[in-house]
Structure 1
Amino acid sequence: MKYFEEAKNIWINYVPKSGQSDTVEGELIRAIEKLRYEAQNNGNGNWDEGFELFCQYLWDNLNDNRVFGHDVLNEIRTYIDMVNNSEVPYFEDDLYDRITDRIIEWSLAHKGPIKREKDPKQYR
């Protein structure tokens, strides 16, 4: 992971012990880490709409052509699609780390933190 310290800083400062983050950056990091944990520790056995909402949230925010070029957006889409395959959990860290690096690049470009409204449908 290229931006480990930056991701750690967001985790410490913007991801609460439980529930959703008040910032976009915090929620993006929370989402990818929840998805990583579900795959690696549960084999996606608890997969439900909450995890699909995480994948959609990642794409909705990272699909930003002001920050990323076409090739990088295709890469991000591919990675999120792989994570969103509940039938075939992705166990290796590399994919989650690549998405995390893109989260940090997005965050740096937007010079956050950016406040967000909590999603009443997201219960995870």
Structure 2
Amino acid sequence: MNFLRKRKPYDWKREQQRLWEDLVPDSGQAESLQGELLRIACKLTDQAYRNGNMNWDDEHEIMWRFISEKIGSDVIFTQKEQCLIKEKVEEIIRDQECPDLSGDGSPYYLITEKVVDWCMAYPKLIPHDENSDLMR
């Protein structure tokens, strides 16, 4: 999997923190697509690591699929990366009762890293229309 991790001029974990502070509201959905993708990836990753997805419901799957739909075919990623993003989102959904919590090698970290990469590639904020079906 590491062969698909490109060298970057930034540390994705530092950028994740910076982007979170700049783009993710204290509660509710983000106004920008960048903020919403980051909010979803970070909050659901935290939930997997903190409580093993004990609160998993249909909204989790909707949110993970939203990430896959928005970044999984984007031209900033190679075809292999696009396939990996889609594959890892499906793995997260499939294995929700027994999540891979192996840290840097986990699908959660990989997807979060790819969300950060996407946000870095699109610094001009893209408006996000709130999904009224989501309570999280």
1:92 aligns to what? 102
1:56 is the counterpart of 2:68: no
When the two chains are superposed, the root-mean-square deviation of aligned CA atoms in Å is 1.8
Larger relative contact order, structure 1 or 2 (CA cutoff 8 Å, min sep 6): 1
Whether the aligned pair in 2 keeps the contact of 1:39 and 1:91 (CA below 8 Å) is yes
State, as a whole percentage, how many aligned pairs show the same letter. 27
1:81-120 matches, within 5 Å, as 81-85=90-94, 86-94=96-104, 95=106, 96-120=108-132
1 CA distance for matches of 2:84 and 2:127? 27
Whether the aligned pair in 2 keeps the contact of 1:2 and 1:101 (CA below 8 Å) is no
Whether the aligned pair in 2 keeps the contact of 1:15 and 1:30 (CA below 8 Å) is yes
1:24 is the counterpart of 2:36: no
Q: Which amino acid aligns with 2:20?
A: W
2 CA distance for matches of 1:27 and 1:13? 12
The alignment's TM-score, normalised by the length of structure 1, stands at 0.88
The alignment's TM-score, normalised by the length of structure 2, stands at 0.81
2 CA distance for matches of 1:71 and 1:79? 12
Cα distance, 1:100 vs. partner? Answer: 2.0
Q: Which moved more, 1:90-99 or 1:53-62?
A: 90-99
1:45 is the counterpart of 2:54: yes
2 CA distance for matches of 1:93 and 1:29? 17
Whether the aligned pair in 2 keeps the contact of 1:15 and 1:26 (CA below 8 Å) is yes
2 CA distance for matches of 1:30 and 1:93? 19
Structure 1 unmatched ranges of 5 or more: none
